[in-house]
Structure 1
Amino acid sequence: MYDKELVLEIMKQIYQAAETIRQRFEPVKKVCDFTDSPAGMEKLDSICMLLIAIGEALKNLDKTTNKDLLSRYPQVNWKSAKGMRDIISHHYFQTDADVIFDVCTKQIRELAQTINTMIEELS
């Protein structure tokens, strides 16, 4: 068995980061909103940092729960979410704004909702 309080704390941090991404991404309507201005690039950078934090936290969550918890929630592609951290961290200067836009548009909401469900079920 794993430390339930630690797992809940990690999940709350993931949820908060995902919600922050959603809030910061809200005014972005197209990829060029990221790439065509210094303010857009700052927004892209801040979102990338949160994606790195989420990926790292998911890896820690997997380690803490002996890879038992995430597999119970297949609606999220956890491998890709964790892999995003590696891609951004190790290839930062080649980060593709289109990919980040796609993640923010199509996947962050589902991640936040799933993590919230997990928190509710574990509490």
Structure 2
Amino acid sequence: MDKANLLELLNFILESISLIKDRFDSINDSDDFLKNKDGLMKLDAISMRLQSIGEALKNIDKRDREFLLKVADKNYWSKIIKTREILTHHYIDIDAETIFMICDEKLTELEKNILILKSKI
């Protein structure tokens, strides 16, 4: 994969993480997603961005199998890409608790890993 396309995908992921964090800012627990229309819109928007992040990572992995392994093992990236598969093909099975956990516990680590990858281009 050429550097320009790789950089574009990494920047897209970082932008998506930033948007997710902004939308997640007022969410204190998973029930906040379900309280009203605003919460549901945030749940949908965050889910879409998580799906897009997984798609971008899937594309990076397809084009350069070794690049992502510079910062984390295959299992780490596989879980994120599989989340994209679930969001895409089994959206009805996704619950607010899962999305809350991803945002609350996993997003900052992903952001750090993407920044490290970006520095390795």
Do both proteins adopt the same fold according to a TM-score greater than 0.5, normalized to the shorter chain?
yes
Q: What is aligned with 1:4?
A: 3
Q: Which amino acid aligns with 1:72?
A: K
Displacement after TM superposition at 1:114 (Å): 1.1
Worse overlay, 108-117 or 51-60: 108-117
Q: In structure 1, what is the Cα distance between the partners aligned to 2:24 and 2:47? A: 11
Q: CA RMSD in A?
A: 1.4
Rounded to whole Å, the distance in 2 between the matches of 1:25 and 1:82 is: 21
Residue pair 2:34, 2:96 contacting (<8 A) in 1 also: yes
1:70 to 56, 68, 81: 68
Instruction: Measure the CA separation in 2 of the matches of 1:91 and 1:74.
Output: 26
Equivalent runs, 1:86-97 vs 2, <5 Å:
86-97=85-96
Q: Quick check: 1:31–1:98 contact (8 Å CA) kept in 2?
A: yes
Is the Cα contact below 8 Å between 2:33 and 2:42 reproduced in 1? Answer: yes
- Structure 1: how far apart are the matches of 2:119 and 2:67? 14
Unaligned runs of 5+ in 1: none
TM-score, length-normalised on structure 1?
0.92
For structure 2, the 5+ residue unaligned runs are: none
- Greater relative CO, 1 or 2 (CA 8 Å, sep 6+): 1
2-structure distance, mates of 1:48, 1:82: 13
Q: Is the 8 A contact 2:55 2:81 kept in 1?
A: yes
Instruction: Please name the residue that 2:116 is paired with.
Output: 117
Aligned mates of 1:6, 1:93 — CA distance in 2 = 32
- Quote the offset at 1:47 in angstroms: 0.2
Of 72-81 and 98-107, the range deviating more from structure 2 = 72-81
Identity score, percent: 34
Counterparts of residues 21-100 of structure 1 (less than 5 Å): 21-65=20-64, 67-74=65-72, 77-100=76-99
The Cα shift of 1:33 comes to 0.5
- 8 Å CA contact 1:22–1:104 kept in 2: the answer is yes
Q: Which amino acid aligns with 1:108?
A: L
**Displacement over 4 Å in runs of 4+:** none
1:34 and 1:40 in contact (8 A); partners too? yes
The size of the alignment, in residue pairs, is: 120
SS of match in other structure, 2:120: helix
